[in-house]
Structure 1
């Protein structure tokens, strides 16, 4: 289960940008962290929490599951990481606290109840569960580091069933079983203390997830805390609190609009004219019907559907964050692991090794890129383009065309693809199907400054 992510953005400076010397337009500039994050292309969002142990995807309706339910008796984070490697993930974000309020980490936070003022510990954590002797977050970090997978944490600020919090605010209503009553000030203090613990105790984090954003009262203190403890981290939903912000694409189905720009802060395909570099992340599930936490007898999405998801996310300049769902034992179910690997195998077999040309030509103005296969024609059915965005995303439109082997006129070309945004990666599967070609040509037909193509390749995929 997810939260409504669209929210009012706080006024901020317009971002770092440069003025194009050729067109005079503003070009948004990325941070090195944003470019590195985009280049990863594949990540996982690990939904494993006390909600795994109920037949309810994310503790909706203010449910507070009994802490004794959380008992992953076969827990093995190395098992998780092997599945990540089989899929091809470069980073992993673990749900530290979801809507239930259950915290996956030990916590020293204490707070007063309302109205008695009695001080209690935040005792709805893994330390009070049947696996209290296992530091799950620490094991997760170590397993990922051993295989060079970057890490991060998901922490929802806006919902905490245990503390009767919804939309970021303590609710004035009758408490449900298991809930506690506190003040808004107490809740805000709890959030900041727990974020400090998470951002201090587990090393350098690659990405921090604010699902649902954050309240106005917490904006400034969270901004300061992030700058103090994890300034390098990518912040999902982070425009307003971090220069390394990325945006939600606006859907959980695993599809980005085409075009999808690296700039703009709206939850959609972005804005090519925005002075703010804020690339998109596409989060979606392996399980069918938008199910995030592991569920009993839940079906998996088919391999063909997941391949389409890859093409409509990574292939449209959006980083794909696929849900990873350990079951109640603490392991990735074998059927799930097979599906992750099947998708990873397809990506590697299709895009791991491009068809190499005999010769490459680039026009003096960098607007045309030609690959020649004249002495050894090849059959291909798709093209992959990557733009160097170090100085911003500048390409606004392009065309790909090919020269067929049976063409009598060497100046005759057939258009096979066209588009607008390239960004980190654009994959075009040619509607005309596989073609036997002598040459392929990429032409930049609209740009706001001199373009730099990082990679242009062709492939044949079964």
Structure 2
């Protein structure tokens, strides 16, 4: 969960000017515990705070600038939003991430390469040393078209980050650990590889967005994609805006998590310093919907067979592994050297199977392999798609299907395919005839 919060919350802006008076920042009811509780109830395991956005206002008392909470009336200048979030998250076992905007519209050093980069590194060091474990640090190249020309020392930034927090994940357009998906709509490409070539990427470039969304089957770098999108039209809270509908958020889920990505959903605190009740309610509906759809696997009691099995029935790689509770390290593997089509077949009872969602997961710890796959119900093709990855979730275009035999056919793969989990599910919220389109706000 992303938490966009700062002076923009109080000025009804998305990008601040850098000239805001810190006195406007006064979230009198701020309760980071409420933010974290909301995340936990929604099934979210990581929260990322905008410690500094483009306006340069710092949500912690940085000793390198007074353009921060120290000059605000909130807690008489003794407040620290980063500390409150870090403490609240630690108490609930939630991971913390931080965003420190490279573009700074306030600081006079911006535009002077060495002084500003030293300033940025100093603030980065504060955040990484004072607040305990940070699981993800979020970098981007966002800046206005007329912004002062500036060279960021990303290599030095990344080196220092790893020096202070060796297990941290660094996010940016070019990784090195997690990559941007190339848009802010929460949607990956229908083909989506975790691998990509970092040498083809540059932070802030607009020429590689499609490449970021699809990845590269020949990529040498493992950079899983992350989809950032806001629950509201804007990234910061605005009184005039409302959260997206449940149908819209589910569409985002299928197009992100369902396409081999991590979903980073922005839920902005309001002027009081709380996540608005309508957003809390929408997240509860979302969590309830996900539980409703995926808590039951209709394939669980099916008879299952496969085209072949590595090591035979006693080899430990049988197709029954795709129906156990381990979605990572137990898996079905066909025979090595079997050059025909690989398939898994699920057979329901006499009453048949009714479902409208198919879930497939590769044993991603051993790499992403599947290039093309098809799904058939009683011999009729219902899916003709490409990659799978950690998780591929298909909502069937025709809606509910009823059949006895479901075959997942792997047409192309890099090496033998390794499938860790398969699910057949019923999504009561999926009505293809009423599907939202981009023109309707997705």
Question: 1:217 deviation in Å?
Answer: 5.2
The aligned residue for residue 239 of structure 2 is 296
What is the CA RMSD across the aligned residues, in angstroms?
Answer: 1.9
Residue 281 (structure 1) aligned with residue 226 (structure 2): yes
Asked if 1:86 corresponds to 2:41, the answer is yes
Aligned to 1:100: 55
Q: Please state if 1:400 is matched with 2:390.
A: no
Query: Could you list the per-position Cα deviations for residues 274-296 of structure 1 after superposition, in whole angstroms to 9, with x for gaps in the alignment?
Result: 111111111111112xx100012
SS state at 2:417 partner: coil
User: Alpha-carbon deviations, 1:59-88, whole Å to 9, x = none?
Assistant: 1xx342110111111011111112212322
Give the match's secondary structure for 2:364.
coil
For 2:185, the equivalent position in structure 1 comes to: 253
Deviates more, 1:433-442 or 1:279-288: 433-442
Once the two structures are superposed, what CA deviation does each residue of 1:187-223 show, in whole Å capped at 9, x if it has no partner? 1111011001111111221111002179655133213
Structure 2: how far apart are the matches of 1:106 and 1:268?
A: 37
Moved more, 71-80 or 339-348: 339-348
Q: Counterpart of 2:207?
A: none
Output the CA distance in 1 between the equivalents of 2:22 and 2:79: 15
Q: Distance in 1 between matches of 2:188 and 2:271?
A: 32
1:231 partnered with 2:166: yes
Q: Which runs of 4+ in 1 moved over 4 A?
A: 213-217
SS in 2 for 1:399: strand
The gaps in structure 1 that reach 5 residues or longer are 1-43, 110-121, 171-182, 404-412
Indicate whether 1:194 and 2:123 are aligned. Answer: yes
Q: Deviations over 1:15-37 (max 9, x none)?
A: xxxxxxxxxxxxxxxxxxxxxxx
Q: Normalising by structure 1, report the TM-score.
A: 0.77
CA distance in 1, matches of 2:101, 2:152: 15
Q: Do the aligned partners of 1:380 and 1:459 also contact (CA within 8 Å) in 2? A: yes
Residues 196 and 63 (structure 1 numbering): CA distance in 2 closer, same or farther, change over 3 Å?
closer
> For structure 2, which runs of at least 5 residues remain unmatched after alignment?
144-149, 199-210, 310-333, 335-341, 429-442
Q: 1:435 to 1:238 in 2, by over 3 A?
A: closer
Measure, in 2, the Cα distance between the counterparts of 1:102 and 1:351.
42
Summarize the Cα distance change of 1:461–1:377 in structure 2 as closer, same or farther, 3 Å threshold.
same
Partner of 2:91: 146
**1:222 maps to what in 2?**
157
CA distance in 2, matches of 1:217, 1:329: 35
Cα distance, 1:45 vs structure 2: 0.8
Partner of 1:45: 2
* Distance in 1 of aligned mates of 2:25 and 2:255: 36
Aligned twin of 2:11: 54
Cα distance in 2 for partners of 1:227, 1:248 equals 19
- Higher RCO, Cα 8 Å, sep 6+: 1
- 1:203 pairs with 2:132: yes
Higher helix content, 1 or 2: 2
Contact 2:113 2:152 in 1 (8 A): no
Distance 1:437 1:205 in 2: 48
